[in-house]
Amino acid sequence: MDLLLDIAFKHLRNRRRQTLVSLLGVSLGVGFFIAIAAMMQGFQNYFIDKIIDVSPHVEMKDEYRAPPPQPAERAFAGGAVHLVGVKPKDEPRGIKNGKAKVAALSALPGVTVAPVLSGEMILRYGSKDVSGTIVGIDPARERLVSKLERDLTAGGLDDLYTTANGIILGSGLAAKVGAALGDTLTVLSTAGVILKMKVVGLFETGIVNLDNFQAYALLKKVQVLQDRPNVVNRIRLRLERVTEAEVVARRVEARFGYRTESWQEANKNVLGIFVIQNGIMYSTTGAILVVAAFGIFNIISTVVLEKSRDIAILKSLGLTARDIGAIFVFEGLLIGVIGTLLGWAIGYGLTQALESIEFEIEGFVKSEGFILYYSATHYLIGAVMALIASTFAAYLPARKAARVDPVDIIRGAT
Amino acid sequence: MADATLQTARETTPIIELRGVTRTLPGVVPVTLVRDIDLAILRGEFVAITGPSGSGKSSLLYLLGLLDRPSEGEVWMDGQATSALSEAERAALRLSRLGFVFQFHFLLPEFNVLHNVMLPLRKAARLTLHECRQRAEGLLVELGLKDCIAKRPDQLSGGQRQRVAIARALANDPQVILADEPTGNLDSKNGALVFDIFERLVEAEGRSVITVTHDPGLAGRCERRVHLIDGRIVDDGVPG
């Protein structure tokens, strides 16, 4: 084995420039993959962590996933019945028997529950009108289901209890309306109720949609503002095991009938974009490595062609076709392994360089630079991709080399 | 008495034997390289294969050296039929029992002289790397190449390269050396030197040497000459 490796290594060393180009191809492919993966997964993890922290893991809404079936449909299920123009029944909004449902959900193991009422509102301050969503909460319960208190940059959650008409604004919302802590604004609801509310807190989650459009107030106050006394239209659940969100959501929906969304379903548009992002990342890296593989194929094919006499003599000395094939596969593997090691260094360096860049960006999340995630898995995936590409690129010329008939070559040379 | 009988049996048992061997290259117009060859090579024989160009000398040598397979007939090595052997088994036989020397030295340019000679030893993996080195150095010293050990093939003269190729052929202590016009690329002095080495291998070490040569003078130094014309053996005996 060491003889075959030795020959492979010497072949590559004799073609330094070509070997270097192939190595560069592999190492850049691996390096860029690591850097891009760190960037993408960093952002994705940050977003998901934020979503999991800030939003409920599961949320029951006062709506149904599908309209209730009509009596005729129930009576002739599977029959040739097609109803058109059915006017759905107007039902009062809000979750019926909200308290009972909260109590039932609270009894589930590993689940904490908070009822809320959320609705549209307009904030008026000075000459500015800014629309947003106001969420009525019970601070004591809210603490259990979200990390709102941790995200407060000013004021406190309990100030909602101690201030008559307190409101906590997202930092972006406060900036848009031009209000600061202690300011009193006018809040208008779609029900036509107008309240003067005092800013008792500001929060910044890092998720732009929340920071720019959301505000919190006491549940009772929001019920007044929305003119829906004792009504809740959302029940938020926080789970001990966040991975069970989808299962719990399905179970709760099956039990109570109301549309119940896990955090994955609530953010499926963004998570779908992540899948596409990952696809683009793997395709780009794959393309770089395919180009590198062509380089490897080229160098090894050239070596096989150049070394046909050496191959013949090695066979006459007693090396088998398998040995000869192994020499050239080792050449590909050597480029793959060394390229991977270099790629790891390049990837780490690039990630560090990206980390040092500072800029402000506001998309799904607000950030002051790239959010990076260092993971050994990225290095492993990069290595596996590089080794597969380089081995496959070497395999074809290696197979050709293994099939060289020494007699043909020696006869041709003499 | 028993020892003498055994010795005689060993000396008269062919180390390589071709029985009814024909080699035809397939194609639209098949080309027969050698036909109906019956040939037995004994231990310690120094055999010259001669004949005009295209008479099948090299083809016969490749069949003897298990580099090629006959289209008909059988090649026996030490009493073992070889046609049913796999490529790997034939390679193993080449590695352990045969040594090749070609007209062109075919030394690997990436390796120095010592490492070229060590190649078959390392492949055989019977010795440690240190022992391989010692064995290779010993052979090179024996062939007068002590000062060339660390040199690369392109730093050697033609005669020196051919002697390195002989050292490499001898590395695994083979019973048979097969040489395909080993002096074809050398001047007469170096050619004679190569044949001196072959004679020593036969006389002092009891190896068999089979060499293809165009040179009647060198063929005359062999104890047996096999003369081919159009792929057939037309004469097999002591050189005249």
What ipTM score was computed for the predicted complex, to two decimals?
0.85
* pLDDT value at residue B6: 43
Asked whether the beta carbons of residue A322 and residue B110 sit closer than 8 angstroms, the reply is no
Q: Are strands A152-155 and A128-137 parallel, antiparallel or unpaired?
A: unpaired
Residues of chain A contacting residue B102, judged by C-beta atoms under 8 Å apart: 313, 316, 410, 413-414
The DSSP line for A194-212 is EEEEEEEEEE--SBHHHHH
d(CA A395, CA B44): 44
Number of helices and strands (H, E) in chain B? 8, 10
Helix, strand, coil share (%) of chain A residues, nearest 5: 55, 20, 25
Nearest alpha carbon to residue A305 among A400, A405, A413: A400
Q: What is the mean pLDDT of residues A192-202?
A: 95
* pLDDT value at residue A177: 94
Nearest alpha carbon to residue A292 among A9, A20, A13: A20
Place B10 in a pLDDT band, splitting at 50, 70 and 90.
Answer: very low
Are residues A65 and A257 in contact, defined by beta-carbon separation less than 8 angstroms? no
- Both structure tokens of B133: 């080195």
Indicate the residue of B58, B88, B100 with minimum beta-carbon distance to A322. B88
Indicate the residue of A315, A321, A414 with minimum beta-carbon distance to B103. A414
Cα dihedral: A256, A260, A262, A267 (round 10): 180
Asked whether the beta carbons of residue A10 and residue B111 sit closer than 8 angstroms, the reply is yes
d(CA A341, CA B131): 34
d(CA A319, CA B124): 9
Which of B66, B123, B170 to mutate against chain A (most A CBs within 10 Å)? B123
Using the CB atoms, write b or e for A310-335: b if 16+ within 10 Å. bbbbbbbbbbbbebbbbbbbbbbbbb
Nearest alpha carbon to residue A208 among A370, A40, A47: A47
Nearest alpha carbon to residue A172 among A219, A132, A141: A132
**Residue A381 Cα distances to A33, A282, A320, A340, angstroms:** 9, 10, 34, 10
- The tens digit of pLDDT for each residue in A309-326 reads 889 889 998 999 999 999
- The tens digit of pLDDT for each residue in A131-153 reads 999 999 999 998 888 888 889 99
Q: What is the mean pLDDT of residues A39-67?
A: 85
d(CA B60, CA B58): 5
- The tens digit of pLDDT for each residue in B164-207 reads 999 999 899 899 999 998 888 778 888 888 888 889 889 888 89
Place A255 in a pLDDT band, splitting at 50, 70 and 90.
Answer: very high
- Residue B58 DSSP SS3: helix
Place A81 in a pLDDT band, splitting at 50, 70 and 90.
Answer: low
Using the CB atoms, write b or e for A377-401: b if 16+ within 10 Å. ebbebbbebbbebbbbbbbebbebb
Residues of chain B contacting residue A314, judged by C-beta atoms under 8 Å apart: 108, 119
- Residue A146 DSSP SS3: coil
Are residues B178 and B210 in contact, defined by beta-carbon separation less than 8 angstroms? yes
Asked whether the beta carbons of residue B92 and residue A313 sit closer than 8 angstroms, the reply is no
Residues of chain B contacting residue A303, judged by C-beta atoms under 8 Å apart: none
Nearest alpha carbon to residue A411 among B46, B72, B57, B176: B57
* pLDDT value at residue A47: 82
- The tens digit of pLDDT for each residue in A368-410 reads 788 899 999 999 999 998 999 999 999 999 999 998 888 888 8
Can you give the pTM of this predicted structure? 0.73
- The tens digit of pLDDT for each residue in B18-70 reads 999 999 988 889 999 999 999 999 999 999 999 998 899 999 999 999 999 99
Q: DSSP state, B213?
A: -
* pLDDT value at residue B4: 52
d(CA A245, CA A111): 10
SS (H, E, C) A100-137: HHHHHHHCCCCEEEEEEEEEEEEEEECCEEEEEEEEEE
User: Would you give the distance in Å from CA A285 to the centre of its chain?
Assistant: 18
* CB within 8 Å of B225: residues ≥ 6 apart: B47, B48, B49, B50, B219, B235, B236, B237, B238, B239, B240
**B171: closest chain A residue by CA:** A317
d(CA B47, CA A338): 51
Question: Environment class of residue B68 by beta-carbon count within 10 Å: exposed (0-12), middle (13-18) or buried (19+)?
Answer: buried
Mean confidence (pLDDT) of chain A: 89
**A403: closest chain B residue by CA:** B87
* CB within 8 Å of B131: residues ≥ 6 apart: none
* pLDDT value at residue B240: 65
Q: φ and ψ at B147, to 5 degrees?
A: -80, -5
More confident: A221 or A77: A221
Asked whether the beta carbons of residue B87 and residue A320 sit closer than 8 angstroms, the reply is yes
A290 C-beta neighbours (distance < 10 Å), count:
15
* B150, pLDDT greater than 80: yes
* pLDDT value at residue B2: 45
Residue spans of beta strands (DSSP E) within chain B = 14-25, 31-42, 46-50, 72-77, 80-81, 98-101, 176-180, 208-212, 224-229, 232-237
Q: What is the mean pLDDT of residues B95-122?
A: 90
* pLDDT value at residue A100: 92
Q: How many residues does chain A have?
A: 414
Percent of chain B with pLDDT over 90: 57
- The tens digit of pLDDT for each residue in A90-124 reads 777 889 888 899 999 999 999 999 999 999 999 99
- Chain A stretch 369-408, residues whose beta carbon is closer than 8 A to a beta carbon of chain B: 406-407
* A1, pLDDT greater than 70: no
**B120: closest chain A residue by CA:** A317
Are residues A98 and A136 in contact, defined by beta-carbon separation less than 8 angstroms? no
Q: How crowded is the C-beta side of B34, counted as CA atoms within 13 Å?
A: 32
Which long-range contacts (C-beta less than 8 Å, at least 24 apart) are formed by A90-98? A93/A62, A93/A228, A93/A231, A93/A233, A94/A62, A94/A228, A94/A231, A94/A232, A94/A233, A95/A60, A95/A62, A95/A231, A95/A232, A95/A233, A95/A234, A95/A235, A95/A258, A98/A230, A98/A231, A98/A232, A98/A235
Q: What is the mean pLDDT of residues A253-277?
A: 89
Residues of chain B contacting residue A319, judged by C-beta atoms under 8 Å apart: 91, 95, 123
Nearest alpha carbon to residue A10 among A261, A331, A274: A331
A321: contact with B, CB 8 A cutoff: yes
**Strands of the sheet with B72-77, listed across from one edge:** B31-42, B14-25, B72-77, B80-81
* pLDDT value at residue A364: 67
d(CA A290, CA A29): 9
Hey, which residues does B48 pair with through a beta bridge?
A: B211, B225
- Both structure tokens of A383: 């290595």
Hey, which residues does B149 pair with through a beta bridge?
A: none
Indicate the residue of A6, A310, A411 with minimum beta-carbon distance to B58. A411
B129 C-beta neighbours (distance < 10 Å), count:
12
Q: DSSP state, B37?
A: E
